[in-house]
Structure 1
Amino acid sequence: MKTIDVSVIISTYNTPESLQKVLWSFNQQTINSFEVVIADDGSTDETKALIDGMRQELSYPIQHIWQEDNGFQKTKILNKATVASLGDYLIYTDGDCIARKDFIETHLKFRAKGYALSSGYFKLTEEVSRIVGQSEIKSQLCFDSEWLLKNGQPKSFKMNKLTTSKLKAAFLNFITPTKATFDGMNASAWKADILAVNGFDERMQYGGEDRELGERLMNYGIRFKQIRYSAICLHLFHERSYVTPDMIEKNNQIRAITKRDKIIKTDFGIDTI
């Protein structure tokens, strides 16, 4: 059995078509010493059937961590997946984010003790999201700006997020005004550091729940490194009908207390599992 150097934790909920594309993208990675841990917040059997059906075609081991559907409990399932992970280093992403072939390699290249990594994503339109399939992922065409423009993706400065030039990426990482935060679509840290702050705060629902974890990591002394233009993933289009103003307000209140009181370890995290 190969050594697991890193665990990629992918959150999902009832989006098997998108998840399939994401799992295909991890089949193209330039390294193979990793596992995928799917943090499933109560999907139906369709998602389980997809994962079980794909196991034979995937080049990496996969864990499917599932909990019953009881509303938006992403933080709770992420904590369960974090505990179940085998790697010393954890990359967090979502089940609608297609990873470029050097995604894991890049996170591992930039990782360092005492640091967490902050990256971003390039958002596809609804039309282009539908067009991207297994062949475009295998060939990596979907990461090509010219191909995207040809298929209807609007031209914008954000296409620089797809650069393959390490020199250009380093320059853009340095000058970007975007603050380095723990964005759950594309962020990584040492498992020991995640455990030290007790993981995600399970009181929180949608809206900054990942960033609150990052803020506690900072309070713990972890520094953040910006790799926004280096670790590349494509965000597939989807609606967010589950988001309510109450969720956002509650999360903002928790984050405000975390910042004000410089909280490191939440009382509502992994220890409650």
Structure 2
Amino acid sequence: MKAPDISVIISTYNSVEWLKKVLWGYNTQTINNFEVVIADDGSREETKTAIEELKKVVNYSITHVWHKDNGFQKSQILNKAIVETRAPYIIMSDGDCIPRKDFVEIHNNYKEEGYFLSGGYFKLPMNISELISKEDIETNTCFSISWLKKHGLNASFKNNKLRFTGFGAKFLNTVTTTKATWNGHNSSGWKKDILAVNGFDERMQYGGQDRELGERLVNLGVKTKQIRYSAIVIHLDHPRGYANKESWKINNDIRKETRNLKHKTTKFGINKE
């Protein structure tokens, strides 16, 4: 089997209906030189069953990487998924983020040696998240501002993420004051760079572990590109029962050390030696 040019890592945990919508989104992509690797942080059997069914009908290959549920261990499962990827270039996103049909193509077009790409997301309320159907995804209707407004989306400057493409999106990428960081829902980079910084720090649970990876990449000398208005995913709403003050404090302390000491790697990543 020919190795893909791009590996898309999607994280998930017991959110099978959202994951199915996301995987249908990858079935609409304008290019097909990619694989999907699902980083599953211990979901129940229904997630595995749904993935096996989708494998039979989607036009890309899916690898399901799973470990036993041991609380929020996203950093661990992402590292396991990174090891399983077959492509030299990795896009990372989440199992609650439906990609627009040009999502993989945009990352492919913007990728460049010595850089990682920083995208964003467009948050949807719960009622619209639940409303989106397979047909809405296949036709990309769910990315239409007029369709979203018809179903209750409020007016906001953030709507420009969906309104502009091409030159308009590039202009907004240039003028935005939002810093280009590694965002777990929408970022990409070279596998060799991610391995060079030893992947995610597995001491970190919920809260900023993706940003810390990006900070080590920058310390390594990798530059950043902002593509938040070009590479579009819509973010489906969900509760966040795994967030807690203790994990935020631990993670913030690790990030502070990474920044102050300019760490380029971690002893708590893919390679434990």
**TM-score tier after normalising by the smaller chain length:** over 0.9
Q: Could you tell me which amino acid in structure 1 is paired with residue 215 of structure 2? A: E
- Residue 58 of structure 2 is matched in structure 1 by 58
Q: CA RMSD in A?
A: 0.9
* 1:222-262 CA-partner distances (Å, limit 9, x unpaired): 00000010000000000101111001000000000000000
CA distance in structure 2 between the aligned counterparts of 1:272 and 1:127, rounded to whole angstroms: 43
Q: Could you tell me which amino acid in structure 2 is paired with residue 134 of structure 1? A: K
- Residue 156 of structure 1 is matched in structure 2 by 156
Q: Could you tell me which amino acid in structure 1 is paired with residue 143 of structure 2? A: F
- Residue 28 of structure 1 is matched in structure 2 by 28
TM-score (norm: length of structure 2):
0.99
Mean Cα displacement is larger for which, 52-61 or 215-224?
52-61
Shift of 1:56: 1.1
In percent, how many aligned pairs have the same letter?
55
CA distance in structure 1 between the aligned counterparts of 2:136 and 2:126, rounded to whole angstroms: 16
CA distance in structure 2 between the aligned counterparts of 1:101 and 1:164, rounded to whole angstroms: 15
Mean Cα displacement is larger for which, 163-172 or 255-264?
163-172
CA distance in structure 2 between the aligned counterparts of 1:73 and 1:165, rounded to whole angstroms: 36
Pair 1:178-2:198 in alignment: no
Which runs of 5 or more structure 1 residues have no equivalent in the other structure?
A: none
Give SS of 2:271's match.
helix
State whether residues 2 and 33 of structure 1, in contact with CA within 8 Å, keep that contact through their aligned partners in structure 2. no
State whether residues 8 and 91 of structure 2, in contact with CA within 8 Å, keep that contact through their aligned partners in structure 1. yes
Give SS of 1:136's match.
helix
* 1:5-60 CA-partner distances (Å, limit 9, x unpaired): 00000000000000000000000000011000000000000100000011111100
* 1:178-216 CA-partner distances (Å, limit 9, x unpaired): 000000000000000000000000000011000000000
Q: Could you tell me which amino acid in structure 1 is paired with residue 99 of structure 2? A: A
- Residue 235 of structure 2 is matched in structure 1 by 235
CA distance in structure 2 between the aligned counterparts of 1:179 and 1:161, rounded to whole angstroms: 16
Q: Could you tell me which amino acid in structure 2 is paired with residue 90 of structure 1? A: I
CA distance in structure 1 between the aligned counterparts of 2:189 and 2:173, rounded to whole angstroms: 18
Shift of 1:3: 3.8
State whether residues 3 and 86 of structure 2, in contact with CA within 8 Å, keep that contact through their aligned partners in structure 1. no
State whether residues 14 and 43 of structure 2, in contact with CA within 8 Å, keep that contact through their aligned partners in structure 1. yes
Shift of 1:153: 1.2
Shift of 1:272: 2.6
- Residue 70 of structure 2 is matched in structure 1 by 70
Pair 1:13-2:23 in alignment: no
Q: Could you tell me which amino acid in structure 1 is paired with residue 224 of structure 2? A: F
State whether residues 121 and 235 of structure 1, in contact with CA within 8 Å, keep that contact through their aligned partners in structure 2. yes
Mean Cα displacement is larger for which, 48-57 or 159-168?
159-168
Q: How many positions carry a matched residue from both structures?
A: 273
State whether residues 4 and 86 of structure 1, in contact with CA within 8 Å, keep that contact through their aligned partners in structure 2. yes
CA distance in structure 2 between the aligned counterparts of 1:242 and 1:203, rounded to whole angstroms: 15
Mean Cα displacement is larger for which, 163-172 or 12-21?
163-172
State whether residues 163 and 229 of structure 1, in contact with CA within 8 Å, keep that contact through their aligned partners in structure 2. no
Give SS of 2:56's match.
helix
Give SS of 2:46's match.
helix
After superposing on structure 2, the runs of 4+ consecutive aligned residues of structure 1 that deviate more than 2 Å are none
- Residue 130 of structure 2 is matched in structure 1 by 130
Q: Could you tell me which amino acid in structure 1 is paired with residue 84 of structure 2? A: A
- Residue 201 of structure 1 is matched in structure 2 by 201
CA distance in structure 2 between the aligned counterparts of 1:219 and 1:73, rounded to whole angstroms: 25
